A and B are shown apart, each in its own frame.
Chain A
C-alpha cells in the first residue's frame, strides 16, 4: 500500500513533479469538493482535512524520489458536541485515505465501548481483536472513546482493550487508521490519563457547534435530499424553532434538526390526511407548512417533543 509502487521507477533528483497533477489523479479533489458541498459550515474542520490531504499528497510525491520517511501517523481525534458531524466526516476521511492509498478498502467500522469491552475475564481480548480485524483495510471509529477508561475501577476491562488498541495502532499502521471521537473536555481528560494514546494520535480536530443560520441551512439541505421543502412561512417558523430548541436540554445540533424534520413530516402527513377530501398536488406533497412546525411542544410549552426520539438521541449514533 504505502510502499513505493514497484512499477514506477525512482525518479531522478532533478525530475519535476506536479503537485496539481498528483492532486487531480488521486481523485481526492472530488471527495473534498463533495465535503464542501454537502456539509454546511465546519470551516476549521474542512481546512484541517485539506491540510491532512496535502500532507499525504506530498508524502506520496516524496516517495517517488525514494525520500523515505516513516508512514505518517494518521490516527485522529474528533472532538465536539453530538450532532456536529463527527461520524459523517469520519466516513469522508475513510474515503480520502482510501483514494490516497493509505488504507486498502476505505470502509468505516463504527464502535463504542460495548463492542470492544467484554463482561468477564478473557472476553475482552477476542472482542477487541474481532473489531480490529473487521476494521482492517479501513477506519476504526471509536465513539465516546473515554468510556474505555474508567479510573474509578482499577479492574475494569476497558484498560485491556486500550492496551490491544495501542499495540495495533503502533504495529499495524499500514492496516488501519483509528479515529477517536467524543466531547472535547472528556477526550482531553482521557488523553491526559492515557499518554500512550496521546502519543499515537497525530491529528486533533475540533468540531464547533453550529449557528442557528447554519442549522437552518442544514435543514434545507436535508429536506431537499428527501424531496421536501419549506414554505416561506415554514422556513421562518423553523428558524424560530431552532433558536428556542438550542436553549433547551439535550440539544444535539444537526441531529436535533433531523429529528425535528422527521416529526414535521409526520405532522404534514396528518394534516394532508385530515383534509383527505381535497385533491392534492405534487407541491402539497412536497411542502412543509408553518403549522407543521408550530405544532411542536417547543413552541407551545417550551418543552421537548415526546413523540420523537429527542430524549434518546443524545447517545451518539
Chain B
C-alpha cells in the first residue's frame, strides 16, 4: 500500500517504529507517572482514524507510584482481546480537564487488511473521497 508501507495502522506515538517491548512500554509509563499523569488502557476493533472513543479497559488509573500495575492491566487486556487494537493514553489534569498527553498502540491484530479508497459521485462532475476499513465490513467482535 502506497500510504501504509508496513501494512499496519499508524496512529499515535511510536507507530512507525517496531512494536514496543514491555521494557520500552514500562519506560514510557514511568515517564508519564513522573509527570503525575493518569493512565488509561483502551481497546477497539474499529481502527478508523476518526474513531477517537475507544472502549475503556477498566477505569483510568490515578495516583500510581509504579509502572508494574499498569503493565499488569495492559497484559490483562491483551489476554482478553488478543486480536484488538489496544492503546495506552496518558492524561494531564494541569489545565483543569484531563487532556491526553501521550497515546500509543501496545497491541494490534495479527493481520491488518488496511483501508480502501471509496469514491462517491456528487453533484455535477465532483467526486468525494473517503477511506473505509476492510475489517469493519464484518460485525463487531468478528473483525480480526
Query: A-side interface residues toward B, CB under 8 Å?
Result: 104-105, 107, 126, 130, 132-134, 136-138, 172, 175-176
Interface hits, B60-80 → A, CB 8 Å: 61, 63-66, 68-70, 72-73
The reply to whether A126 and B69 form a contact with Cβ atoms under 8 Å apart is: no
Nearest B residue to A171, CB-CB: B72
The reply to whether B58 and A126 form a contact with Cβ atoms under 8 Å apart is: yes
CA distance A137 to B72 in the complex (A): 13
Interface hits, B120-139 → A, CB 8 Å: none
The reply to whether B58 and A134 form a contact with Cβ atoms under 8 Å apart is: no
Number of CB contacts from chain A to chain B under 8 A = 37
Which residues in B have their C-beta under 8 angstroms from that of A172? 68, 72
The reply to whether B64 and A134 form a contact with Cβ atoms under 8 Å apart is: yes
Which residues in A have their C-beta under 8 angstroms from that of B64? 133-134, 136
CA distance A280 to B66 in the complex (A): 51
Interface size on B, residues (CB 8 A): 12
Instruction: Please name the 8 residue pairs, one residue from A and one from B, whose CB atoms are nearest each other, closest first.
Output: A137-B66, A133-B69, A175-B68, A136-B66, A136-B69, A105-B65, A136-B68, A137-B65
Question: Could you list 19 further interchain pairs (A-B, Cβ under 8 angstroms) beyond the known A133-B61, A136-B64?
Answer: A104-B66, A104-B68, A105-B65, A105-B66, A126-B58, A130-B59, A130-B61, A133-B64, A133-B69, A133-B73, A134-B64, A136-B65, A136-B68, A136-B69, A137-B66, A137-B68, A138-B66, A175-B66, A175-B68
Query: B-side interface residues toward A, CB under 8 Å?
Result: 58-59, 61, 63-66, 68-70, 72-73
Which residues in A have their C-beta under 8 angstroms from that of B68? 104, 136-137, 172, 175-176
CA distance A136 to B66 in the complex (A): 6
Most chain A beta carbons < 10 A, residue from B64, B66, B72: B66
How close is A138's CB to chain B, nearest CB, in angstroms? 6
Which residues in A have their C-beta under 8 angstroms from that of B63? 134
CA distance A132 to B70 in the complex (A): 11
Most chain A beta carbons < 10 A, residue from B58, B59, B69, B73: B69
How close is A129's CB to chain B, nearest CB, in angstroms? 8
Nearest A residue to B66, CB-CB: A137
CA distance A130 to B39 in the complex (A): 13
Most chain B beta carbons < 10 A, residue from A105, A107, A134, A138: A134
CA distance A126 to B70 in the complex (A): 13
> What are 10 residue pairs bridging A and B, where the CB atoms are less than 8 Å apart in the complex?
A126-B59, A130-B59, A134-B65, A134-B69, A137-B65, A137-B68, A138-B65, A172-B68, A175-B66, A176-B68
Which residues in B have their C-beta under 8 angstroms from that of A104? 66, 68
CA distance A138 to B73 in the complex (A): 18
How close is B22's CB to chain A, nearest CB, in angstroms? 13
How close is A51's CB to chain B, nearest CB, in angstroms? 27
CA distance A175 to B58 in the complex (A): 21
Which residues in A have their C-beta under 8 angstroms from that of B72? 133, 136, 172
Which residues in B have their C-beta under 8 angstroms from that of A175? 66, 68-69
Which residues in A have their C-beta under 8 angstroms from that of B61? 130, 133
Which residues in B have their C-beta under 8 angstroms from that of A133? 61, 64, 69-70, 72-73
Which residues in A have their C-beta under 8 angstroms from that of B66? 104-105, 136-138, 175
How close is B44's CB to chain A, nearest CB, in angstroms? 21
Which residues in A have their C-beta under 8 angstroms from that of B73? 133
CA distance A136 to B30 in the complex (A): 13
How close is B25's CB to chain A, nearest CB, in angstroms? 15
Which residues in A have their C-beta under 8 angstroms from that of B58? 126
How close is A284's CB to chain B, nearest CB, in angstroms? 44
CA distance A107 to B65 in the complex (A): 8
Which residues in B have their C-beta under 8 angstroms from that of A130? 59, 61
CA distance A105 to B61 in the complex (A): 17
How close is B97's CB to chain A, nearest CB, in angstroms? 23
The reply to whether B69 and A132 form a contact with Cβ atoms under 8 Å apart is: yes
Most chain B beta carbons < 10 A, residue from A105, A136, A138: A136
Which residues in A have their C-beta under 8 angstroms from that of B69? 132-134, 136, 175
